[in-house]
Amino acid sequence: MSTSSVSKGCFVFKPDVQKKKKSSLGLEDYFNHGCEGAETNEMRFKLFHDLWNKTTTDTELLQEELNRQILDNLLDFTKKSYSTRQQSDWASQMRASEIPTAALMLGVNVPDHDMTFQSLSELLQQSVTPHVACVQAKECTALKHLMKRVLERLMDTVVAFDDEDEDEEAEQRSTQAHKNMQCSLSSLCEWYNTQTKKSDTPGKKRKSPSKDHHPPIVIIFKDLEAFNHRVLQDFILTCSRYIERLPLMFIFGIATSPSTIQHMLPHSVSSLLCIELFQSLSCTQHLATVIDKLILTTHFPFKLTGKVMQVLVSLFLYHDFSVRNFIKGFQLALLEHFHSQPLSVLCCKKKEALRNVTLLSHTDLERIRKLPSFTRYVEKQQTEEQAELLKNDAHLKEVCQQLIKDLDKYHKNYYPTLKCLHALTSSLPRYPLGKQIRELHLICLEKSVWETEDYHSALKLLKMLAKDELIASLQRCAEILHPVKSKKMKSALVQLEDMLAKFKQLDVLVPAAANEVVQCEEETLTSPVNNLQKKTDLFQLQKALLEMKESRRSKKQSPFEILRSEALEFFDYLVKSHLSPPECQTLHEVCYYSSSSTIRRHLNATPRISIQAALRSPYYYLLNENLKTEDGSVSNAAPDICLTYKLHLECGRLINLYDWLQAYATVVSAADGHDPDSDDFGKVDDVKHARFIRAVSELEFLGFIKSTKQKTDHVARLTWGGC
C-alpha cells in the first residue's frame, strides 16, 4: 500500500520488567472516590449496581420482544424454504440454481444490528439448523477471505488455502477465483455429507428440527452495503454451482434500501437469488417503547431532567439513531448521579427510601437543608416549623419521609396523566404538543404545559373533535388509567367511565332533542335571511347581519357538545393538578439527574479541541514542572510535537518545510542551552532533522496538515484557530 505521508516509521517501546505492577482497584473502590466525606458510598454503590443490572436486563428483554415478530418471520421463511427443497417438486417451484435469500431491512441504526443478528443466529441454531455462519465486510476484503470465514465458522476448524501468492493483485480474473473457490466448496460438501451421515445413523432419535437429515446452511451477511461488489458477486456465482449439493441460504442485513441489492449485483447474479423482503421495527418506534418502559414508569426510581433528556434524544436523532447508544447514555447518567450525589441513597423504591432516611447522618441532613427545593419548602413554613427543620434532625427525618411519599405520589399521578394527554393530542392536525410522547414529556419537564400556546391550540382543536374520534380517545385514556393503583387516578377512571356511559346513551336520547335544536336553529337563522332577501337599505342590511351573528353566538348547545366540554374540562383539571414540572417537587434532586454538560462532554466528544488543548498546554497533561509557564506560551523544553504545533500556528495556508525546520532547530538549540552567538546555534543536524520529521508526521496523522502539490517542499495547513 502506498502512502502520501511525510515519513514512515515503526517505533517499539519495550516494557520495563523491573517496574512493579500497580494493584488494580475494584469498581467499588473507584466509586468511593466520587464524593469526599460521604458516609453512604457502599449503600449507593449497591443501589447503583442493582439499577444498572435491572436496566440491562429489561432492555435486553424488550429488544427480544420487539424483534420477536421479524425473527419469527425469518424462521418461518427458513423452514419453508428448507421443507420446499425436501419435497419432490423442488425443481418445479424453484430453479436449481436459485438460492433462498432473505433481505432483512434493519435501518440505519447500525450499532443495534449486532444484538439482532446474535438473537437470529441463536434461534436458527436452536430450531432450524446448527450450520449458521455470520460474516462482516471488514473481515472479507477478498474472495478467499470471505470463503475462509464461512468455512471456519461452519466447520469450526482452521481452514488453509493453497494460494500461489498471498499478495496477488485484486484485479485477478474471476475464472481463476472460481477455480480456487470450487476446491474449497468441495471440501465443504464433503464435510456436510459427513455430518448428514452421522445424523442418519440408525438407532438415533431426532429431538429437534436441527437434527434433521439435511438441515440448511445459513450464511448471514451483517452489513451488505459495506461488502465489495466483486467479492459478493463471485461468491454468489460460486455458491450457485453447488446449490444442488449444498442447501445454502443467505440472509442480507441491509441498512438503507432494498434497491441496494440491484445496485450491487447485476441481473445475471441477482437472478440466481430467490429474494424475500423483511422489514424490522423502525428505530423511532423502538426508542418510544424504550422510553415508555424505562423512563415513563414508576418502577424505575432514577429520572432525567429535561436538559439531560434533550441531550440524549438529540444525539439519537442527529447522530446514529441507535437505541443501544441511547441506553448507554442513560446508564452513564445513572452512574454519574450515584457517583456524584451523596443523597442518591434515597433514589430507590419507596419502602427502601423511607428506611434509608432513618440511616442518614447529620452531614447528609445538612446536605438536604442546602437543596434548593428544600430551601423553598422551608420558606413557605411557619417560623417555628422553620426552626425545627433547620435544627432538629429527628424532626427533619420525619418530614423527609413524608416528602418522599409525596414525591412517589407525584410520579404515580404524573405518568398516567401524561399518557392520557398524549392519547388525546397525538392525532391532532400539525401535532401542537408533539407526535411522540417524548416531545410532550420534554415540554412538561421544562415548564407548566397548560401555560403554553401549544396547549391552548390543542384544546381548541379538541373542541372540534367528532363524536367517534372523541370516544375512541377517551377509551384509550380509560385503558391507560385502568391498571394504575393511585387513588386519584382510580377516582379519575370512575369519572371517565361515567362520561363514556353518557356518550353511549346519546345514541338513544339524542334524535328527538337534536330535531328540536335543529328546528330552533333554522327558525333563528331563517328570519334574518328572509329579511336579507327583501329590498333593504344599508342600515337594514347591517342590522340583519348583526342579528345573524348574535343568533349564532347564542344558539343552544347540543347534548354532545355539552358532554364534550365537560370531558375537556375534566382533562384540563387533571393536567393542571398532576403535570407540574418536577422542579416544583421538594427533594426532586435525590432522583433527578440534571448535569447535561457532563453527559454532552462524555457522549458528544470534541477530539480536536482536546488535542489542541494538550498541544498548547502540555504541562496540565504531563505534569512536568519544566513545562510550566505563566503567560500561557509553550516552553522550549516541551515535546517536539508541541513545538512544531506552536510554530505552525504562525504560518499561513501553505507552510515551507525548510523554514519550519530552521525555526524548530532554533527553538531546540535554545532549549539545549547553546550560546546564541555560537556557530552551531540553530544548525540542523541529523538528530534534529529526524525529530522534526517525526513531529511533522504526527501532526499530519492528527489532521493538522497535509501534503500538497501546489509548491515544492510545502505542506498545507488544515485547521485554524487554537492560539
Higher pLDDT, residue 32 or 613: 613
SS3 546: helix
Closest CA to 312 of 445, 425, 184, 217: 445
311-336 pLDDT per residue, tens: 999 999 998 899 999 999 999 999 99
User: What's the CA gap between 150 and 131, in Å, rounded?
Assistant: 10
Largest Cα separation within the chain, whole Å, is 116
Higher pLDDT, residue 15 or 453: 453
Cα end-to-end distance, the chain, whole Å: 36
Confidence of residue 86 (pLDDT cuts 50, 70, 90): low
Q: Are 528 and 547 in contact (CB under 8 A)?
A: yes
The predicted structure's pLDDT at residue 404: 96
Confidence of residue 608 (pLDDT cuts 50, 70, 90): confident
481-540 pLDDT per residue, tens: 999 989 999 999 999 999 999 998 886 655 545 445 445 544 544 554 555 455 556 777
Closest CA to 180 of 235, 243, 246: 235
Q: Are 587 and 301 in contact (CB under 8 A)?
A: no
The predicted structure's pLDDT at residue 424: 95
Q: What is the mean pLDDT of the chain?
A: 83
The predicted structure's pLDDT at residue 527: 52
Q: Are 323 and 112 in contact (CB under 8 A)?
A: yes
User: What's the CA gap between 690 and 282, in Å, rounded?
Assistant: 54
List all residues 6 or more positions away from 705 whose beta carbon is below 8 Å from its beta carbon: 648, 655, 696, 699, 715, 716, 717, 718
pLDDT at position 22 over 80? no
DSSP 218: E
525-555 pLDDT per residue, tens: 455 455 545 555 677 777 777 777 666 665 6
pLDDT at position 2 over 60? no
User: What's the CA gap between 437 and 425, in Å, rounded?
Assistant: 10
Higher pLDDT, residue 624 or 38: 624
CA distances from 417 to 179, 437, 571, 580 (A): 68, 12, 9, 11
Closest CA to 274 of 244, 240, 324, 225: 240
Higher pLDDT, residue 97 or 188: 188
Residue 411 has which C-alpha cell? 410520579
- Sheet of strand 705-707: strand arrangement: 654-656, 714-717, 705-707
Higher pLDDT, residue 96 or 153: 153
Higher pLDDT, residue 474 or 214: 474
Q: Are 222 and 135 in contact (CB under 8 A)?
A: yes
* Three state DSSP letters for 288-330: HHHHHHHCCCCCCCCEECHHHHHHHHHHHHHHHCCHHHHHHHH
- Report the range of poorest mean pLDDT among 19-23, 240-244, 423-427, 498-502: 19-23
Average pLDDT (9-26) is 52
Average pLDDT (376-386) is 94
Helix axes 283-294, 41-86, angle to 10 degrees: 140
SS3 117: helix
User: What's the CA gap between 343 and 40, in Å, rounded?
Assistant: 9
List all residues 6 or more positions away from 22 whose beta carbon is below 8 Å from its beta carbon: none
Q: Are 342 and 318 in contact (CB under 8 A)?
A: no
The predicted structure's pLDDT at residue 448: 94
Q: How many other C-beta atoms lie within 10 A of the C-beta of residue 333?
A: 26
Closest CA to 68 of 127, 105, 124, 119: 119
pLDDT at position 57 over 50? yes
The predicted structure's pLDDT at residue 320: 87
- Specify the pTM: 0.78
DSSP 18: T
Q: Where along the chain do its domains lie? A: 67-160+175-195+212-281, 607-717
Closest CA to 452 of 317, 304, 581: 581
DSSP 341-393: -GGGGG-S-HHHHHHHHHT--HHHHHHHHT-HHHHHHHHTS-HHHHHHHHH-H
Closest CA to 121 of 55, 220, 27, 24: 220
Whose cell is 538528530? That residue is: 687
Confidence of residue 21 (pLDDT cuts 50, 70, 90): very low
pLDDT at position 289 over 70? yes
Average pLDDT (59-85) is 85
138-161 pLDDT per residue, tens: 999 898 889 989 998 888 877 665
- Report the range of poorest mean pLDDT among 119-133, 325-339, 393-407, 500-514: 500-514
Q: How many other C-beta atoms lie within 10 A of the C-beta of residue 307?
A: 17
The predicted structure's pLDDT at residue 90: 44
User: What's the CA gap between 603 and 329, in Å, rounded?
Assistant: 7
Residue 700 has which C-alpha cell? 499530519
Helix axes 372-379, 362-369, angle to 10 degrees: 70
List all residues 6 or more positions away from 521 whose beta carbon is below 8 Å from its beta carbon: 555, 556
- Sheet of strand 99-105: strand arrangement: 132-135, 217-221, 248-254, 99-105, 273-279
Superfamily classification of domain 67-160+175-195+212-281: P-loop containing nucleotide triphosphate hydrolases (3.40.50.300)
Q: Are 44 and 345 in contact (CB under 8 A)?
A: yes
The predicted structure's pLDDT at residue 213: 65
